[in-house]
Amino acid sequence: METWEFGRMVRRRRDRVAPGTVGVPVGPRRRASGLRREELAALAGISADYLTRLEQGRATAPSAQVVEALAQALRLSDTDRDLLHRLAGHTPPGTGVVPSRVPPSVQRLLDRLANTPVVVYDATWTLVLANAPYDALMGATTSWRGIERNAVWRHLAGPPSRVVHTEREQAELDARLVADLRLTASRYPADRALRRLIGELDHASPKFTELWDADALPPLPDTSRRKVIEHPAVGRIALDCDTLVVAMDDLRIMVYTAEPGTEDAERLALATVLGTQSMAEQPAPPRTGSPRHR
């Protein structure tokens, strides 16, 4: 890794980012024209201390996920993003590999949904990013590492989630996720990380093996469906969950909303306030894992 050059590039680009363009509030007493370290760290999902060490060249091995998160938070162009990866000692994501990058145009869309629970997955159903309202609704995702970030694993072998499913709904969802992952594998046959993920899922879940080997596979996941969330503080919330597929970047964006004026909308708003306040009181842990299970 080109330690000093990496840190210098991050520092310089941080100074150039106008806070308002990335959703950071600008108060009347603000002196910094760019982003403060704490603000960039929060946007990238890493700790301010880790970002300080990166900028000063004292941390020398940022993961590809951390580099990508910084590139997204800094709104780097494709050329500058690739340079940042190279300075960190990584090969920039290329063709034939499942993309996990959130392009600037999609990021602008996400910025407009800053107060709405949103989670983004790549084509392997591995979590790319989740905003604060999503974590407030579903539970914090910042501590997830490796295969824990994969939705297929979480549904088939992971801990229980806050989403309430009937037995039939759970079976149908499991089958649809595995079917979609199989289609992804057919589109990216050379992706070694994807093959490794499939192997680990096969090892972790007999149900996955059964569904993967099934002759008849169900269609892709529904693009819109209702979900009931059992929130520990406000109780059950029934929400619309719409999945938006970004075809060019092979991303899945899940957006959770409630009809305005309903009790569910009030509970969602309360859950968001309670959750974001609770997370704000705790220091953000560094994200050192990869967004893909590599």
Q: How many CB atoms lie within 10 A of CB 267?
A: 21
Domains and CATH numbers, the chain: 3-87 (1.10.260.40), 104-280 (3.30.450.180)
The residues pairing with 14 across neighbouring beta strands, listed in sequence order, are none
pLDDT in tens, 126-176: 999 999 999 999 999 988 999 999 999 999 999 999 999 999 999 989 999
Q: What is the mean pLDDT of residues 272-278?
A: 83
The position carrying tokens 């060249």 is 57
Which of the residue ranges 84-98, 169-183, 278-292 has the most confident prediction, judged by mean pLDDT? 169-183
Running DSSP on this structure, what letter comes out for residue 120?
A: E
Q: Residue 238: what are its φ and ψ, rounded to 5°?
A: -100, 120
- Residue 284 in tokens: 């953000």
74 torsion bin: left (phi>0), alpha (psi -120 to 50), beta (else): alpha
Neighbouring residues of 27: CB distance < 8 A, sequence distance ≥ 6: none
Q: How many CB atoms lie within 10 A of CB 139?
A: 17
> 35-40 long-range CB contacts below 8 Å, 24 or more apart?
40/10, 40/14, 40/70, 40/73, 40/74
Rounded CA-CA distance 266/161 in Å is 22
292 pLDDT exceeds 90? Answer: no
Closest CA to 109 of 124, 129, 93, 92: 129
Q: At what angle do helices 3-16 and 48-55 cross, to 10 degrees?
A: 120
Tally the residues of the chain: 294
Which band of pLDDT confidence, cut at 50, 70 and 90, is reported for residue 287? very low
Rounded CA-CA distance 96/114 in Å is 32
The position carrying tokens 């591995």 is 126
Rounded CA-CA distance 252/125 in Å is 8
Rounded CA-CA distance 250/292 in Å is 14
- Residue 107 in tokens: 């990021």
Which DSSP string corresponds to 161-196? -SEE--HHHHHHHHHHHHHHHHHHHHH-TT-HHHHH
Closest CA to 198 of 154, 158, 153, 161: 153
Which band of pLDDT confidence, cut at 50, 70 and 90, is reported for residue 186? confident
pLDDT of residue 288: 40
187 pLDDT exceeds 90? Answer: no
Report pTM.
0.68
**Share above pLDDT 70 across residues of the chain, in percent, rounded to a whole number:** 88
Q: What is the mean pLDDT of residues 84-101?
A: 80
Q: What is the mean pLDDT of residues 205-219?
A: 80
pLDDT of residue 278: 66
